[in-house]
Amino acid sequence: MKPPVLDSRLDQLADYPFTRLTRLLGGPAEPSSIVMSIGEPQHTPPALVAEVLAAQAGLWGKYPPANGSPDFRQAVTAWANRRFDLPAGLIDPEKAVLPVAGTREALFLIAQTVCGPRQGERPLVLLPNPFYQVYAGAAVMAGATPVYVPGADGPASQPDFSALAPEILERAALAYLCTPANPQGSVADAALLERSVRAARRHGFVLASDECYSEIWDKAPPPGVLSTCAALGEGLSHVVAFNSLSKRSSVPGLRSGFAMGDERVMAAFNRLRSYGGAATPLPILAAAAALWRDEAHVEVNRDLYRAKLDVAEDILAGRFGFIRPAGGFFLWLDVGDGEAAAVKLWRDAGIRVLPGAYLAGEDQSGVNPGKPYIRVALVHDLETTGNALGRLAQVLGG
């Protein structure tokens, strides 16, 4: 029998971080485990979700259009206008906005949209290091070469793509920014966003700004790439912003987000997704539109995370290189050897955390900058989180 031929690029993908974690820890989580390895919010979803889904149940019988419903596109446009104080008309809801089935698939498919072959040369995809694992996989499966760009001001900071050599920027098809960053929680300031957008425009690549943690902030709302576009002029040229309800509204299971940006890129993205994307069902679009129109539940949610950061700071300040994240809900702790710490925490305390090495790639000197770290997701209630962090500090010493 002749075996089926598989795409050899799949061999270049690292195993998914959670697969590696299960292997490292010798099995999956148990009901009594405290799972802080995955960024899956455990807060109660707003009641509004179930209400709208029930009210719109008649729409399950319809195929949803790939570009969603006018109501959804208007709701997210109005949200972006409010949140980033954008001038009217910057975003055309009919041309610049698409629903996505969670930002993961969208962040993956944007690479397939922009990384075509270029006169025999593989395009480059620029990504932060450490990074959200999907960026690297998307680059590889799109036939591009990932370029890991470290933080400009040390391992916890944001990368500055504009400082790369012009020959790298000329070969780039796509750059992923993640602000607030998973895993470190750092935020790109307005000046960095501006330099990044200018570099994308000058060198002709697309800047994908993953902002799915933008609403989980501590002291101040992080700026977004759309406000940079408003400040710079030239519309949304070369830019696509991605956002999601998974973290903002604690509904990761709803699988609902949006992409918003350069109309030329969005048209191509819609074309690709019309063939291979998962269209969001109409009842989910209706629930999502209601969630984007409501800020009250987001404020409550944000306060819950802030209280957990207070507890984390009480327990961990001055230890494990603790930095209170400006955004998002992860702690990025320097424990010396992330894998060894993850094994110890699991064995001695039943706590699962993710070794930082699984969220980073080797730099040019063969060093994985995530190796000394663990990522700890503050997704449980305050009491569970406080108890777990207390145990963590006890088990790891520090």
Ligand X SMILES: Cc1ncc(COP(=O)(O)O)c(C=O)c1O
- Of 11-19, 103-111, 162-170, 358-366: span binding ligand X (CB under 6 A): 103-111
Least separation in angstroms between residue 314's CB and ligand X is 26
Which has the closest alpha carbon to 230: 80, 70, 79, 78?
80
| Distance (Å, whole) CA 105 – CA 244 | 11
Least separation in angstroms between residue 231's CB and ligand X is 24
Least separation in angstroms between residue 110's CB and ligand X is 12
Which has the closest alpha carbon to 175: 211, 141, 208?
208
By CB under 6 A, residue 244 contacts ligand X: yes
* Burial category of 278 from C-beta neighbours within 10 Å (exposed 0-12, middle 13-18, buried 19 and up): middle
Q: Which of 69, 77, 103, 301 binds ligand X (CB under 6 A)?
A: 103
212-231 binders of ligand X (CB under 6 A)? 212
Q: How many CA atoms lie within 13 A of 100 on its CB side?
A: 28
Which has the closest alpha carbon to 154: 173, 174, 132, 181?
181
By CB under 6 A, residue 280 contacts ligand X: no
Q: How many CB atoms lie within 10 A of CB 23?
A: 10
Residues 6+ apart with CB under 8 A from 353: 36, 37, 341, 342, 345, 374, 375, 376, 377, 392
Least separation in angstroms between residue 133's CB and ligand X is 9
| Distance (Å, whole) CA 111 – CA 120 | 18
| Distance (Å, whole) CA 206 – CA 265 | 8
Q: Which of 224, 252, 277, 372 binds ligand X (CB under 6 A)?
A: 252
- Of 219-227, 244-252, 282-290, 387-395: span binding ligand X (CB under 6 A): 244-252
By CB under 6 A, residue 210 contacts ligand X: yes
Q: Which residue is nearest to ligand X (CB)?
A: 102
Nearer CB in complex with ligand X: 169/354: 354
- Of 64-72, 102-110, 186-194, 303-311: span binding ligand X (CB under 6 A): 102-110
- Of 21-29, 96-104, 109-117, 349-357: span binding ligand X (CB under 6 A): 96-104
By CB under 6 A, residue 262 contacts ligand X: no
325-364 binders of ligand X (CB under 6 A)? none
Nearer CB in complex with ligand X: 182/228: 182
Tokens found for residue 374? 């663990």
State the binding string over 123-142 for ligand X (x if CB under 6 A, else -): ---------x----------
Cα 332–Cα 336–Cα 341 angle in degrees, nearest 5: 75
**Contacts with ligand X, residue ranges (CB under 6 A):** 39, 102-104, 107, 132, 178, 182, 210, 212, 244, 246, 252, 257
